[in-house]
Amino acid sequence: MSYLFRPKNYKPILNLQQTELGITKIKDFFQANLSAELRLRRVTAPLFVLRGTGLNDDLNGTERAVNFPIMDMGDVRAEVVHSLAKWKRVTLADYEIENGYGIYTDMNAIRADEELGNIHSLYVDQWDWERVMTAEERNVDFLKSIVRRIYATLLRTEYLVSESFPDIKPVLPAEITFIHAEELRQLYPDKTPKERETEFARQHKAVFIMGIGGQLGDGKKHDGRAPDYDDWTTPGDNDLKGLNGDIILWNPVLEIAFEISSMGIRVDKDALLRQLALEGKEDRKELYFHKRLLEGSLPLSVGGGIGQSRLCMFFLRKAHIGEIQASIWPEDMREECRKLDIHLI
């Protein structure tokens, strides 16, 4: 079911032409700086993969992938990617990327099961990135160091935007705040996970919530994660489990916790087996990706995705992702947006 959040007294700061210019500036600048910060090389990525290989991202495990038959291959079915979490790791191996270096790509996807609204669209565009790491780096300190480098790139991008468009004032703090999902639960025991994110992001403005995917102290998950890319079961600080998380910013236009990246240290063999068993997905061990990981032909890695349209939406102070990207929206949402001075592309 679609949902439109109506911000109070919204007035776009930039017109349509300025917005397009801002989108170009942000995308060009951010990807160049992210590449330099994490030592990433750009590679070409697929829009679709063959069904049954295990390469597609399962997200929360419930979303249906858009799929179609390939006539010239006996009607074998292909799936439009949800993201490239697993494909990237195979590419690191096939390209023989050395330790401390990685890859990034423009990932375009269709997620037909999204609930459409201000921040969710049928069309997904993000920078997917993946970096080779060592066994000694599989810890929370290394994870935090990568997050801080990404955040430094966000700060530089915000400065570029404010210099280019003086009416857009910087809002990000100098440092990002880290918290584990279990610590967040204990801080706000009577709130839902989304309500906890909202309260913590409202206070700290830029946060990284760790340990997403596994059960917390109340037996519930903060949010779902597929069992075969992020490691959400390996103990970290204070025996709190999980070497992954989300980068969340406080959105001053919508006044919500605004996720711009899901990322983490990826599963090794032990974590994969453990998480497949926990989720009842042990049959996946026979898929192409999983076989390669279990046989040791894939490198250890850290990686994630950073939403391109979401990042532009945040920095250009837009109220709807449809002000950044061309997609399909319910007609009643388009009509309501016109009344609210929200100009959908």
Structure tokens at 257: 């916790």
Q: Out of 126, 301, 309, 327, pick the active-site residue.
A: 126
Q: Out of 57, 137, 231, 323, pick the active-site residue.
A: 57
290: how many CB neighbours lie within 10 A of its CB? 23
Give the residue carrying structure tokens 């069309």: 123
DSSP letter for each residue of 182-203: HHHHHHSTTS-HHHHHHHHHHH
Is residue 167 annotated as part of the catalytic site, yes or no?
no
Is residue 145 annotated as part of the catalytic site, yes or no?
no
Is residue 215 annotated as part of the catalytic site, yes or no?
no
User: In whole angstroms, what is the distance from residue 210 CA to residue 232 CA?
Assistant: 9
Fill in the amino acid letter for 11.
K
User: In whole angstroms, what is the distance from residue 103 CA to residue 132 CA?
Assistant: 9
Q: Out of 31, 58, 79, 111, pick the active-site residue.
A: 111
Q: Out of 259, 301, 310, 317, pick the active-site residue.
A: 259
Grouping H, G, I as helix, E, B as strand and the rest as coil, residue 123 is strand
Q: Out of 262, 275, 308, 327, pick the active-site residue.
A: 262
With beta carbons less than 8 A apart as the criterion, state whether 250 and 201 touch: yes
Q: In what order do the strands lie in the sheet with 48-50?
A: 48-50, 76-80, 67-70
Q: Out of 246, 275, 301, 310, pick the active-site residue.
A: 246
Is residue 259 annotated as part of the catalytic site, yes or no?
yes
Q: State which H helix or E strand residue 70 sits in.
A: strand 67-70
Residues noted as catalytic: 57, 111, 126, 246, 259, 262
